Structures are given as C-alpha cells and as structure tokens.
Amino acid sequence: MKLHGLQKMTLLDFPGHVACTVFLGGCDFRCPFCHNFQLAEGREAPVMDDDELLRFLSGRKGLLDGVAFTGGEPCLHRELPRLLERIREMGYAVKLDTNGYHPDLLGEILNKKLADYVAMDVKNSPEKYAETCGVAAVYLDVITRSIRTIMDSGADYEFRTTVVRELHEERDFAAIGQMIQGAKRYFLQAFTDRDTVPFEGFHAPDKASLERFAAAARPFVDCVSLRGVD
C-alpha cells in the first residue's frame, strides 16, 4: 500500500493524542477549495509503503500514541483495514478522516473497532452538495449511510464543515443540522487560502457569519463549535 505523505508529529490532528498524520492519495471529489488537491487527483508521488510506516511507528513508541489517516480519501483503499489492524496491534490509537462516500469500508473498519475516532466532512446542504464537491452528482443516500454508521458505531467522532463564503449561507447549516441530527459534535472551520488550493476567488466568512451559521445548526446537534477562529 502506497502512502503519499507523513507528518511525523502533530498535537492538532487527533484530539487528546500526540500523533503522526498519514496522507493517502486519491479522492472521489474535486472540491475547488481543497488544500490537498494534488493528493485528491493522485498526482503526488508516494513517499513510503505500509511496511516503512510500520517500521517508523515501531521506533516511535513512547513518543507517539496515535496515528491519524487523512487524504485524499483513505477509504478508497481496500487494504486500509489490514493496515489499521496492524497499527492497533502495536498499541496505537487510530483516527480516520473521511468524506463519507465509502460506507461499506467505513462500516468494516468501525465494526472491527479499528478506529477510535472518526472525523467526517459534511460538505454542504443536500441541494449544494455536488457543487461543493466539484462533481456532477453525489448520491446523498451514501452520505447519509455513512453518517448513521458513524453515529451508531460506538466510536468517538465529529462531523465538520469547511465554510467558504462563496459556497455557504445560513440556511445551509439548518439543513446540515438535520442531516446529522442527534450527533454529539459538529465543527465549523473557516476556509483558509493556500497555494495548494486549485482555484482562486474563495474567502473565509467573518466570525459573525460563522456564529450565525453555528446557531442555525444548534437545534439539531448537541455541541456545535467554531474551530480555528480567533
């Protein structure tokens, strides 16, 4: 299994853990505001394979206690459950980031208790989902299956939306709240422009707008918070 990036230590990516972050290539979506677009397109060259990752982790016991998998979309890779199993056998906790478009593999991972924490991106309200993902169509029942799979799994989790001024408005967050109704935790994180974002013209909403958006979701979700906003 080819891995396309490794951040050797992070205190931010896996709540409550000192972790490394593993980046996997490929994605179903082409979100125009994506920070990792080269990974999504599969243009980024691999940096190691799974055996090299396991050797790295073997040498970091006592320094790290978690491994976060992100992308791209990790659940595109059928070999992922076996790799997670081997990492869990080494004593590490696992966090998985996902776009929610592979509920069968996600369900396999969660049923086998191979992930301690799952973070799923909920891109937008149903009517804007495909546009926000940069694709012609999205099967929303697939997204809904993943949401329910995560909420029913017993694993810790969060849902999150990267908020873009040009793509989101207040009513979208009431619709998102209904999609994840009953969830324990939902974060709104403001878009940040970077050189790796494929298209220009996107901006972060101001804090007042983000607070309004969060308020629109709160009737449906236990805990709605802003992330990375001063």
Amino acid at 7: Q
pLDDT exceeds cutoff 90 at 230? no
* pLDDT value of position 75: 97
| C-alpha span between 180 and 217 (Å, rounded) | 9
pLDDT exceeds cutoff 90 at 199? no
* pLDDT value of position 126: 98
Is this prediction's pTM over 0.85? yes
Can you list the domains of the chain with their CATH numbers?
Answer: 2-227 (3.20.20.70)
Amino acid at 27: C
| C-alpha span between 188 and 200 (Å, rounded) | 21
The angle at the Cα of 108, spanning 159 to 57, to the nearest 5 degrees, equals: 80
* pLDDT value of position 132: 97
* % of the chain surpassing 70 pLDDT: 100
